[in-house]
Structure 1
Amino acid sequence: MTQDLPQPGAVKAYPEPDAADVSELLLGWCGADAEDADDAVKALGALDDDARELADRLYQSIAADMGGKKWLSWPKVTEPHSLLGLYPLLAAVPDMLAYHRERGIDEDLSRKVLVDVGEKLRLNRRIYGRAGLDVANWFTGHVRGALYQLGRLQFCVEGPDPEPFVGMHIRGEGGPLTLDAVRDSTEWALEFFPAVFPERYDGPEELVFKCDSWLLDPQLRDWLPERSNIPGFGALFDLEGDGGPVGNRTDLWRFVFMRTEDTPVEELPQDNTLQRSVLAGIKADVPWRSRLGTLNLNRLGL
C-alpha cells in the first residue's frame, strides 16, 4: 500500500510540525492529555529519515485529496513509530482550516472535530499501555473536510457519486446517546450538509444517513437493561443484510472492553453495565455483529 502514496513533496511542501506545533495543537485543539502530548513531542524527535519520508508521503496523500469523501487508506504504522501517522495529520490542520473557511464553516466546528484526536490517543493508551494512534487514517476524513462533529454525533460525506450519503459515527466520549441528542444532531446535519455541500446534496429531503456499527446489533436489546440508550439508538435504523457470519470481535474488544483483540475472554473487564452485558452474551455464544442501517427519520419525528 505504501507504493500507492504520492512521493515526497509531490503535491506541496510538507510543513513538518516542530515540537512546539505538536504540543500546541494537541493540547489547545485536540484535547489531548499532557502525557500523550509529551510523548508525541518525544517521538517526533526520534523519527529517522525513512519515517520522516513516510510522514511526508502521508501528508501528500491528504493534500492531493482535500474535499474528498470518507477517509484514506494508509499503510499500518507500528513500532518503533506508533505515532508516525499523527504528524502529517497535524501538519494538515492549516489545510483543513483553509478548506473550512472556503465553505463558510466556523472555527468552533474546526476545533470540535479535532477533539476526536485526543480521545483516540487516550483510547490507544488504555488498550496498549503506551502512546499511539493505531487508526491514524480515520482522521484523514477530519482534516480533508469530509467529517464534522455536529452535537453528539459525527457526520461524514460518504458513498458513491452522484448521490453520496452521509455516514453517522459515534464518539465514545461524546456523552449520553439519548434520543434528544440524536434528534438535535440530525436536525443540524439536515441543515449543514446541503448548505456546505450544495454540489453534493440538493436539500434536506434528499439526505440519506447510514451507520455501520456494533451499536446497531438488535441482539443488544436482549442483554442490555431497559434504561440503556443503545437499543433505542439502534431501533432508529432500517437494517440492511445480516452483518456477516463472523461476529464483531474487533470492535467489541476495542470499544466496549478497551482491550486488544487477542485478550482472552476470561481477562475482559466487567467495570460497567455495558461490559457485563456484552460479556454475558459472549459467554452465551451470542454471535455479536456489526450492522449497517439507514436512519429512519420518521422514528425521530423529523
Structure 2
Amino acid sequence: MRAYPAPDTAAVRELLLDWCGADADDADDAVRALGSLDGAALELADRLYQSIAADMGGKKWLGWPGPPAGQPMLSLFPLLAAVPDMLKFHGDRGVDEDLSRRVLADIGEKLRLNRRIYGRPGLDVGNWFTGHVRGALYQLGRLQFCVEGPDPKPFAGMHIRGEGGPLTLDAVRDSVEWAMEFLPAVFPERYAGPEDLEFRCESWLLDPQLRDWLPERSNIPGFAALFDLLNEGDPAGNRTDLWRFVFGRPEDTPVDQLPQDNTLQRSVMAGMKAGVVWRNRYGRLDLAKLGL
C-alpha cells in the first residue's frame, strides 16, 4: 500500500487554480481547510486515497461517504493527491495533458456549484470525481463519457456538465464521434472498436415531459429525443437533481423560495405548479438519430 501523498498548501493552490479551473475564493478556502484537518480527518483522507490507488482504471466511481460534519472539503484532498496517479494512467494510455486538464475542470465547476447551493465552500459529491482520477471518465467536447456497466463489454455512460455550453445536436454528435474513436483506443481490452460501443444516459434531462413545458428553442428536448428510454423512472420523482442542477438550492428549500431567474427554472416551476412529477429517465443512445 502506497503512503498517502498528502498535498501541501502550495500543491492544493496550484492544482485548483492551474488544473481544476477553480475560483480563487475556493482555492483560498481549500488551503484554510487543509490546515484545519485533525488526526481523524487525515486518517479518513488516507483511506479515501487508498481506495483510489487500489482501483486505478476501474469502472464508474467509488462509493465514498459524504464529508464529515465540520469538514465539507475533506474529500477534495485525496482527489488532489491522486492527480499524479491519474496523469500516469493517462500517459500510459496515450491520453494527452489537455484532456487531463479538461476532466479536472469539473472539480472547479462543482466547487462553484457547492458554494452557490449552500453559501459556503465545500465538495459534497467528492465520490463523483473518483471516476475522473481513476481514469474512467473523460470530457470529450461537450459531453463526458465514463466506462460503466458489466464486463466483458461495459457501456459508456454519458454525462452533462452544467458549464459545458449549449447542448446542441452538433455538439452532441461531435462528442459522440470523438468517444467512438477515443474509447476503443484507450481501452482496447474493453472495446474492440466503434461498433462495440453502447452509450447510455440517466438524467432529468431525458424526461419527455419537458417537451410540454420548455420553449421550442430549447436544446433539451432535442437531446432527450436521441435516446430510447429503458425505464419509467421513479414515480416519486427526482427532487434532488432538480433542486441541485436546475435551481442551485439545497433539497430542503421550499418550492415557493426557489429562484425563477431563467427560462428553464420558470418552465420546471410551471410544471410543478401544474402537478407534474419530474423524473430521472434512463436511456440508450440511438446512434442513427445522430447520423452515426
TM range (shorter): over 0.9
The letter for the 2-side match of 1:204 is P
- Equivalent runs, 1:10-89 vs 2, <5 Å: 11-89=1-79
Q: CA deviation at 1:75?
A: 1.1
Distance (whole Å) between structure 1 residues aligned to residue 272 and residue 23 of structure 2: 33
**Hey, which bits of structure 1, 4+ residues long, moved more than 3 A?**
none
Matched residue SS, 2:45: helix
Quick check: 1:106 aligned with 2:96? Answer: yes
Distance (whole Å) between structure 2 residues aligned to residue 80 and residue 261 of structure 1: 19
Q: CA deviation at 1:241?
A: 1.2
Quick check: 1:93 aligned with 2:87? Answer: no
Gaps of 5+ in 2: none
Q: 2:279 aligns with which of 258, 283, 289?
A: 289
Q: 2:164 aligns with which of 174, 179, 196?
A: 174
- Equivalent runs, 1:245-284 vs 2, <5 Å: 245-284=235-274
Distance (whole Å) between structure 2 residues aligned to residue 252 and residue 223 of structure 1: 15
Quick check: 1:300 aligned with 2:290? Answer: yes
Matched residue SS, 2:202: strand
- Please, what TM-score do these two structures have when normalized by structure 1? 0.96
Distance (whole Å) between structure 2 residues aligned to residue 272 and residue 251 of structure 1: 17
Matched residue SS, 1:228: coil
Query: What does residue 117 of structure 2 align with?
Result: 127
Q: Please list the CA deviations of residues 176-208 of structure 1 after superposition, one character each: whole Å capped at 9, or x if unmatched.
A: 000000000000000001111010001101100
Matched residue SS, 2:166: coil
Q: CA deviation at 1:287?
A: 1.0
Distance (whole Å) between structure 2 residues aligned to residue 229 and residue 52 of structure 1: 44
Distance (whole Å) between structure 2 residues aligned to residue 242 and residue 86 of structure 1: 35
Identity of aligned residues (%): 78
Q: 1:241 aligns with which of 222, 231, 234?
A: 231
Distance (whole Å) between structure 2 residues aligned to residue 158 and residue 279 of structure 1: 33
The letter for the 1-side match of 2:171 is A
When the two structures are aligned, how many residues end up with a matched partner?
292
Matched residue SS, 2:62: coil
Distance (whole Å) between structure 2 residues aligned to residue 79 and residue 28 of structure 1: 29
Distance (whole Å) between structure 2 residues aligned to residue 125 and residue 208 of structure 1: 35
Quick check: 1:198 aligned with 2:176? Answer: no
Q: CA deviation at 1:35?
A: 0.2
The letter for the 2-side match of 1:191 is E
The letter for the 2-side match of 1:299 is K
Distance (whole Å) between structure 2 residues aligned to residue 222 and residue 199 of structure 1: 43
Matched residue SS, 1:52: helix
- Please, what TM-score do these two structures have when normalized by structure 2? 0.99
Q: 2:140 aligns with which of 139, 150, 170?
A: 150
Distance (whole Å) between structure 1 residues aligned to residue 272 and residue 2 of structure 2: 49
Distance (whole Å) between structure 2 residues aligned to residue 194 and residue 246 of structure 1: 38
Q: What is the aligned-residue RMSD (CA, Å)?
A: 0.5
The letter for the 1-side match of 2:60 is K
Q: CA deviation at 1:78?
A: 3.4
